[in-house]
Amino acid sequence: MMMTRSLLRSPVGALPLLLSLLVLGCAQFLGFPAYYDPTTYKNLTDVKPEVAALYDTFANDPVDSGRVAAVRLTLARIYEYEKGKGEKNTETTRQIEIIKDMFERHVEDRLKTGKWSATHLANNKDNIAEAFDAAIQTERLKNKNE
């Protein structure tokens, strides 16, 4: 307790503390990466298996427009949430755009070409899973605890 008080009374002892506070306070204005957001992580990890399950139906079942619309809405909500964080979150926002665009291409492909073969299903599931993994990893890299 005595050491802390003496550090704060001394201009030299307080300097490191003041500099640290200044850097932390200005970090958001200096273009440092956005902070880890557990909501983003949860959103991405929740919708990834939903998309995979929907893709599984593309091999044998008619396209369920209700499920497609639900995934579109979920992806749109995630995108708007990420976009609303501002310019410092462009990496995650861009990853969500990639996922949305890929999902739309895959749905369009299924509607135009019909049921997917096992190989086509596996390739598209792998592609969308990799896109989700890139977005999840982008968000995880912001986590300072790892």
The string of pLDDT tens digits covering residues 80-110 is 999 999 988 899 999 999 999 999 999 999 9
Domain count of the fold of the chain = 2
Within this chain, do residues 56 and 2 fall inside the same structural domain, yes or no?
Answer: no
Structure tokens given for 38: 């557990």
- Domain annotation covers residue 146: no
Looking up tokens 């609303």 gives: 84
* DSSP secondary structure letter of residue 144: T
**CA nearest to 57, candidates 77, 39, 71:** 71
- The DSSP letter of residue 142 is T
Are residues 48 and 67 located together in one domain of the fold? yes
Contact 88, 35 (CB under 8 A): no
Tokens describing residue 58: 């593309």
Nearest-angstrom CA–CA distance, 58 and 110: 7
Containing 131, the helix (H) or strand (E) segment is helix 118-140
Question: Which has the higher per-residue pLDDT, 68 or 15?
Answer: 68
Residues 20 and 78 placed together within one structural domain of the fold: no
Q: Are residues 77 and 125 in the same domain?
A: yes
How high is the pLDDT of residue 37?
87
Q: What contacts 64, CB < 8 A, 6 or more positions away?
A: 54, 57
> Are residue 20 and residue 60 in the same domain, yes or no?
no
pTM, 2 dp: 0.75
Query: pLDDT digits over 6-38, tens only?
Result: 444 555 554 444 444 444 444 444 444 458 889
Q: State whether 128 and 75 are in the same domain.
A: yes
User: Does residue 145 lie in a domain region?
Assistant: no
* Domain range for 98: 38-140
Whether residue 59 is predicted with pLDDT greater than 60 in this model: the reply is yes
pLDDT recorded at residue 145: 53
- 22 and 44 in a single domain? The answer is no
